[in-house]
Amino acid sequence: MTGYPPEPWRVKMVEPIRATTREYREQALRAAGWNPCLLRSEDVYVDLFTDSGTNAMSDRQWSALMRGDEAYAGARSFYVFEEAVRAHYGYEHVIPVHQGRGGENILSRCLIRPGTHIPGNMYFPSTRAHQELNGATFHDVIIDEAHDPSCEHPFKGDVDLGKLRAVIAEFGPESIPYVSIAATVNMAGGQPISVANLAEVGELAHANGIPVFLDTARAIENAWFVQQREPGWANASIAEILLALCAVTDGAVMSSKKDSLVNIGGWIGLRDSELAEKARGLVLLYEGLHTYGGMAGRDMEAIAAGIAESVEEDHVRARIAQVEHLGGRLRDAGVPVILPLGGHCVCVDATATLSHLPRTGFTAQTLAAAVYLQAGVRGVERGAVSAGRDPVTGENRFPPLEFLRLAIPRRVYTRSHIDYVADNVIEVHQRRDDIVRGLAFTYEPRHLRFFQARFAPDGGETIFAR
């Protein structure tokens, strides 16, 4: 490995972090019910729990905060924000929400009737939860390769058009409120969808009178992979590819906490005026006035500045290179990671790492615990705990992918932090046979259970042989 290009920024302000002892971490993790989600961030050394809202803002963004217009209605900051979203994503109607799931709630309430069906390229927990809460059933129509951790398909976020056609044929277009597409696909490990495939999805859906909505949380990282991998796009800029991805779709839900380099915020982008008016009405009920949607004026200013920075080639190149550096080091040391390496995270295949444990012991949750105990590094489970229970049968869902996600916040950690993580994850992998027990729920919440769940080692004091 030759590492990655020097970061296109320098550090202007620092936030101290603290290393802890193993004994301290054992106490902290037990108090957190063996769920890294419930740890205090002070007890975490390198926090790779998520790339959502954990970004470092630039000096330009911090100074934009000072321009926040905090008027309740019609704030100037809203129009700055609206213009930035329109210019870079191309949607006529821009409706602010406090974060992605706020937008998912509104869109689901606007469009879903009980008993309907939503096809999509793999689920995301909050997206599917809102679809299910409104009475729809989600159908995964992603290509089979997405479920195979070692398959190096360049666009593992692509939709299998045969599967999409089959869902339309089985339930009828009138029972499908929309097709739900993500760019990149988080639960597949940050895997992109190609522009060509998205265009085909649009054609098929529109021929059946079905709209297509895009989850744009990480569409810029998707645009990078299109530029690098998709024939015909090598000379297009990230900004041009982003517009091309959105152009095919009828609207988008955005969690600005990812690509847009901020700590909070989001929006719904729409083309249809009637739907936009309906969505604004619901934003008034659930988020805030339709010109702030749960954000402060300053948040909208920071997003507008962040959007402009997020499409800069140097930024995206350095961001993806950092992910590749971590993933490359793990891969080269024999740690099973999802390939190709994704846009925002490196995913350690927990089923392969802990192949000696049953999946009913929640192997990715167990691996997350082991990595925290080893080094104070926090990742997140993306497997059976995240997948929840089937709403009809009540049984645990065991998705094909079961992994520990190490998500990298943008512009936050340096190469030495990344190497520290790599060294320690490699060591956990080398000593994986010491992990002899999985985890069992001691408390299981009904919705999005991974956030608040508590566990205990299944049949012993600890997950290790000792």
- The contact set with ligand F0G (CB under 6 A) reads 50, 52, 99-101, 124, 126-127, 182, 186, 215, 217, 255, 257, 266
Of the pair 221, 309, the CB lying nearest ligand F0G is at 221
Q: What DSSP assignment string belongs to 330-389?
A: HHHTT--B-SS--SSEEEEEHHHHTTTS-GGG-HHHHHHHHHHHHHSEE-EEESHHHH-B
Of the pair 158, 463, the CB lying nearest ligand F0G is at 158
Query: In sequence order, which residues have a C-beta less than 8 Å from that of residue 466 and are 6 or more positions away?
Result: none
Q: How far is the CB of 114 from ligand F0G (least distance, A)?
A: 23
Of the pair 270, 435, the CB lying nearest ligand F0G is at 270
Of the pair 214, 435, the CB lying nearest ligand F0G is at 214
As given in the structure block, the two tokens for residue 336 are 């099973």
Separation between Cα atoms, residue 353 and residue 364, nearest integer Å: 9
Q: How far is the CB of 428 from ligand F0G (least distance, A)?
A: 21
Q: How far is the CB of 265 from ligand F0G (least distance, A)?
A: 8
Select the residue whose beta carbon is closest to ligand F0G and give its number: 100
Burial of 69 (0-12, 13-18, 19+ CB in 10 A): middle
Of the pair 50, 116, the CB lying nearest ligand F0G is at 50
Q: Which amino acid is at 374?
A: Q
Q: How far is the CB of 186 from ligand F0G (least distance, A)?
A: 4
Q: How far is the CB of 133 from ligand F0G (least distance, A)?
A: 14
Q: Give yes or no for a cis peptide into 340 (omega within 30° of 0).
A: yes
Phi-psi region of 245 (alpha: psi -120 to 50; beta: other; left: phi over 0): alpha
Task: List, in sequence order, every residue forming a beta bridge with 297; answer none if it has no partner.
Answer: none
Q: How far is the CB of 104 from ligand F0G (least distance, A)?
A: 7
Of the pair 168, 193, the CB lying nearest ligand F0G is at 193
Host H or E run for residue 320: helix 313-332
Instruction: Pick the closest to residue 190 from 48, 76, 57 (CA basis).
Output: 48
Of the pair 381, 463, the CB lying nearest ligand F0G is at 381
Q: How far is the CB of 53 from ligand F0G (least distance, A)?
A: 7
